[in-house]
């Protein structure tokens, strides 16, 4: 059983469990684990990683014996660390008493160690502290009573800037690996972006390969773990109506759009060096696009899905500067940490062309922007204009059937179509059939797991299905390298300045029209 099935099995008591699947869940729960959150003082750790761990604990999805250890340079006492962890914990379901009790129990299992990321000495001290002070306590409190005496597995979650990945991994591999001889594994979760371009990715990959075998590496792209993204394959391939229409003969264009209504918010140090293309398009949006456009995989298993995605990535034509519109919000250069003459894009939109039988000629727009008018991530598939105009009034002729999938903030699926109003007038209008998750699955939607919960749970049980393969990342960089080089040449291409909170320099529909008119 995969970890994701483990997650749904345990959280859905109505499912009948196969004995073998139950066994996987139980086996994993028996195995003690220490999750080391490296960069525990940072934004990602505070907002996503630690709350996700708590939520897994709340739902009894963590091993019976576990500890969460924060590692960062900041000098924090364990009490200070616990207090910063606790301020971000949320219980989605259950009563207050239960939530408070679970929070207390979780915090008791949180510890903190201050050290430099690249210092072998600090990691050796950490290893000693962990194996002498923390792990024996874990064994006494839980596992000993169940007769299992194994050294805990160690899952290192790297929530640090990419600039310190390499030195950190090298030092962990030399100083803080779990003792294999006592049956313990070591795994590492690495956050995107993986490098800045093909060259730096390959250097990082070679270095990492010297420290860890491929199967110990979990390259996370949390968009793949979002419930609506994880559902895309089923929506597409589980429904004849969509599966049969999923090609250039029926589909006119596809949009994959990411909009945020806030700016870089204290992350300028990282963001200015990377920009929106590397932050969102090269990974999150390309992953979503590849799931939308891949040929049907042979099976739902990791290897087949990854193969189908990779084949699709090889059918995409590499992107050039001419395929892009880039923008920057007007207040960006006055953000703390941003150089006054920065040309870093906070908005980028491009047309992706897929050169295969299924998609040749269909524009796929990827658009991402910070500091726009709303926070929304969606996919919009527009079908061709209907060839039969007999039943459509002139003013609706440019309307299309669209299949809209809102990934966040209001997970929903909508199909727009033309119909008559039921009154005497019987006007022809465009309307929609919709499935809004919070309404149709009200109980389940209340407890919808965050992407990080699913992915961390998968890493704990050793399921790499939803993690990104080396081959996919290499190809993703190959696709973006030419555009990045051309946009960042000396002098760089100037981004279009757009007002904070606006719709940005171009709408996806306008970009599609421009492309169709041969103006790109
Ligand atoms: P932060 O800037 O908050 O950095 C995390 C921690 O790393 C800091 O608390 C700091 O801890 C340490 N740190 C910061 N800058 C440096 C530096 N120059 N050298 C050494 N250590 C430093 O980053 P985030 O938490 O936002 O992101 C971490 C990783 O996660 C990045 O790779 C990012 O791309 C990725 N990511 C972030 C998301 C988010 O929502 N924030 C979402 C998805 C991915 P201390 O000083 O205590 O050592
Ligand atoms: C991260 C980016 O990968 O994703 C951030 O580094 C962005 O810039 C974030 O804000 C968005 O994630 P989510 O899950 O909030 O949509």
pLDDT in tens, 399-446: 899 999 999 999 999 999 999 999 999 999 999 999 999 888 887 877
Mean pLDDT, range 82-93, rounded to an integer? 90
Instruction: Give residue-wise pLDDT tens across range 13-39.
Output: 333 334 544 455 566 677 899 999 999
For ligand 2, say whether the CB of 127 is within 6 Å of any of its atoms.
no
Pick the residue whose CA is nearest to atom 5 on ligand 2. 279
Best of 48, 49, 228, 279 to mutate for ligand 2, by most ligand atoms within 8 A of CB?
Answer: 279
Instruction: Give residue-wise pLDDT tens across range 254-283.
Output: 999 999 999 998 889 889 999 999 999 999
- Ligand closest to CA 370: 2
Lowest mean pLDDT among 260-264, 465-469, 475-479: 465-469
Q: What is the 134 CA–ligand 2 centroid distance (Å)?
A: 33
For ligand 1, say whether the CB of 297 is within 6 Å of any of its atoms.
no
In this predicted structure, the answer to whether residue 372 has a pLDDT above a threshold of 90 is yes
Which atom of ligand 2 is found nearest the CA of 408? 16
Task: Give the rounded percent of residues in the chain with a pLDDT score beyond 90.
Answer: 75
pLDDT confidence of residue 2: 41
Beta bridge partners of 369: 259, 347
Q: Which helix (H) or strand (E) holds 428?
A: strand 428-436
Q: What is the 374 CA–ligand 2 centroid distance (Å)?
A: 14
Residue 241 near residue 156, CB atoms below 8 Å: no
Catalytic residues: 284
Q: What is the 23 CA–ligand 1 centroid distance (Å)?
A: 37
pLDDT confidence of residue 14: 32
pLDDT confidence of residue 47: 92
Separation of alpha carbons 234 and 93, rounded Å: 27
Mean pLDDT, range 314-335, rounded to an integer? 97
pLDDT confidence of residue 182: 83
Separation of alpha carbons 268 and 265, rounded Å: 7
Buried/exposed code over 195-216 (b: 16+ C-beta within 10 A; e: otherwise): bbbbeebeebbeebeebbeeeb
Beta bridge partners of 268: none
Q: What is the 270 CA–ligand 2 centroid distance (Å)?
A: 13
Which atom of ligand 2 is found nearest the CA of 260? 10
Q: What is the 260 CA–ligand 2 centroid distance (Å)?
A: 9
Which atom of ligand 2 is found nearest the CA of 267? 8
Residue 447 near residue 11, CB atoms below 8 Å: yes
For ligand 2, say whether the CB of 221 is within 6 Å of any of its atoms.
no
Beta bridge partners of 72: 114
pLDDT confidence of residue 26: 60
Instruction: Give residue-wise pLDDT tens across range 156-202.
Output: 999 998 889 999 999 999 999 999 888 899 999 999 989 999 999 99
Which atom of ligand 1 is found nearest the CA of 193? 34
In this predicted structure, the answer to whether residue 143 has a pLDDT above a threshold of 90 is no
For ligand 1, say whether the CB of 190 is within 6 Å of any of its atoms.
no
Q: How confident is the model at residue 9 (pLDDT cuts 50, 70, 90)?
A: very low
What is the residue whose two structure tokens read 């990945």? Answer: 165
Q: Please name the residue ranges forming H helices in 65-119.
A: 78-86, 96-108
Pick the residue whose CA is nearest to atom 16 on ligand 1. 161
- Ligand closest to CA 39: 1
pLDDT confidence of residue 140: 52
In this predicted structure, the answer to whether residue 6 has a pLDDT above a threshold of 60 is no
Best of 74, 157, 161 to mutate for ligand 1, by most ligand atoms within 8 A of CB?
Answer: 161
For ligand 2, say whether the CB of 279 is within 6 Å of any of its atoms.
yes
Q: How confident is the model at residue 468 (pLDDT cuts 50, 70, 90)?
A: very high
- Is ipTM strictly over 0.90? yes
Q: How confident is the model at residue 49 (pLDDT cuts 50, 70, 90)?
A: very high
DSSP 179-242: -GGGT--EEEEEESP--SSHHHHHHHHHHHHHHS-GGGEEEE-GGGGSHHHHTHHHHHHS-HHH
For ligand 1, say whether the CB of 230 is within 6 Å of any of its atoms.
no
pLDDT confidence of residue 77: 97
Instruction: Give residue-wise pLDDT tens across range 488-499.
Output: 999 999 999 999
For ligand 2, say whether the CB of 458 is within 6 Å of any of its atoms.
no
| Mean of per-residue pLDDT scores for the chain | 90
Task: Give the rounded percent of residues in the chain with a pLDDT score beyond 70.
Answer: 92
Q: How confident is the model at residue 149 (pLDDT cuts 50, 70, 90)?
A: low
Which atom of ligand 2 is found nearest the CA of 283? 3
For ligand 2, say whether the CB of 191 is within 6 Å of any of its atoms.
no
pLDDT confidence of residue 463: 87
In this predicted structure, the answer to whether residue 148 has a pLDDT above a threshold of 60 is no
The CA–CA distances, whole Å, from 271 to 164, 263, 336 equal 15, 10, 12
For ligand 1, say whether the CB of 225 is within 6 Å of any of its atoms.
no
For ligand 1, say whether the CB of 439 is within 6 Å of any of its atoms.
no
Q: What is the 160 CA–ligand 1 centroid distance (Å)?
A: 4
Q: What is the 162 CA–ligand 1 centroid distance (Å)?
A: 8
């Amino acid at each position: 059983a995969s970890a994701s099935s483990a997650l749904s099995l345990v959280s859905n008591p109505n499912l009948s469990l196969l004995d073998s699947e139950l066994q996987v869940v139980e086996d994993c729960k028996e195995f003690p684990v220490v999750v080391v959150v490296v960069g525990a003082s940072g934004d990602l750790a505070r907002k996503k990683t630690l709350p996700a761990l708590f939520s897994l604990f709340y739902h009894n999805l963590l091993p019976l014996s576990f500890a969460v250890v924060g590692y960062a340079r900041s000098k924090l006492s364990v009490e200070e660390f616990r207090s910063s962890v606790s301020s971000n914990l949320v219980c989605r379901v259950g009563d207050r008493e239960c939530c408070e009790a679970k929070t207390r129990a979780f915090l008791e299992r949180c510890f903190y160690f201050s050290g430099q990321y690249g210092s072998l000495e600090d990691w050796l001290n950490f290893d000693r502290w962990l194996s002498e002070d923390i792990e024996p306590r874990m064994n006494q409190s839980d596992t000993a009573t169940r007769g299992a005496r194994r050294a805990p597995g160690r899952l290192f979650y790297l929530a640090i800037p990419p600039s310190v990945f390499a030195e950190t991994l090298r030092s962990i591999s030399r100083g803080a690996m779990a003792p294999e001889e006592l049956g313990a594994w070591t795994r590492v979760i690495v956050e995107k972006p993986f490098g800045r371009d093909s060259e730096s990715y390959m250097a990082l990959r070679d270095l990492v390969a010297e420290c860890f075998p491929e199967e110990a590496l979990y390259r996370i792209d949390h968009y793949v773990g979002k419930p609506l993204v994880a559902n895309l394959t089923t929506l597409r391939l589980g429904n004849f109506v969509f599966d049969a229409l999923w090609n250039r003969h029926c589909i006119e264009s596809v949009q994959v759009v990411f909009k945020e209504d806030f700016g870089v918010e204290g992350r300028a140090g990282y963001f200015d060096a990377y920009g929106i293309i590397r932050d969102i398009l090269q990974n999150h949006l390309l992953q979503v696009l590849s799931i939308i456009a891949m040929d049907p995989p042979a099976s739902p298993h990791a290897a087949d899905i990854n193969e189908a995605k990779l084949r699709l990535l090889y059918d995409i034509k590499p992107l050039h500067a001419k395929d892009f519109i880039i923008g920057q919000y007007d207040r960006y250069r006055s953000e703390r940490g941003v150089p006054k003459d920065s040309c870093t894009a906070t908005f980028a939109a491009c047309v992706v062309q897929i050169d295969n039988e299924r998609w040749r000629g269909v524009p796929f727009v990827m658009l991402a922007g910070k500091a726009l008018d709303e926070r929304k991530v969606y996919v919009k598939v527009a079908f061709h204009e209907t060839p039969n105009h007999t039943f459509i009034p002139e003013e609706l002729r440019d309307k299309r059937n669209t299949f809209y999938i809102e990934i966040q903030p209001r997970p929903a699926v909508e199909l727009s179509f033309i119909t008559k109003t039921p009154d005497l007038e019987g006007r022809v209008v465009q309307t929609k059939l919709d499935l809004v998750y919070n309404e149709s699955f009200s109980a389940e939607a209340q407890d919808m797991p965050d992407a990080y919960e699913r992915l961390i749970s998968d890493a704990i049980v050793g399921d790499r299905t939803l993690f990104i393969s080396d081959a996919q990342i290499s190809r993703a960089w190959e696709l973006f390298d030419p555009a990045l080089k051309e946009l960042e040449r000396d002098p760089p291409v100037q981004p279009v300045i757009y007002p904070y909170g606006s719709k940005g320099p171009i709408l996806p529909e306008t970009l599609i029209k421009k492309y169709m008119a041969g103006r790109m």
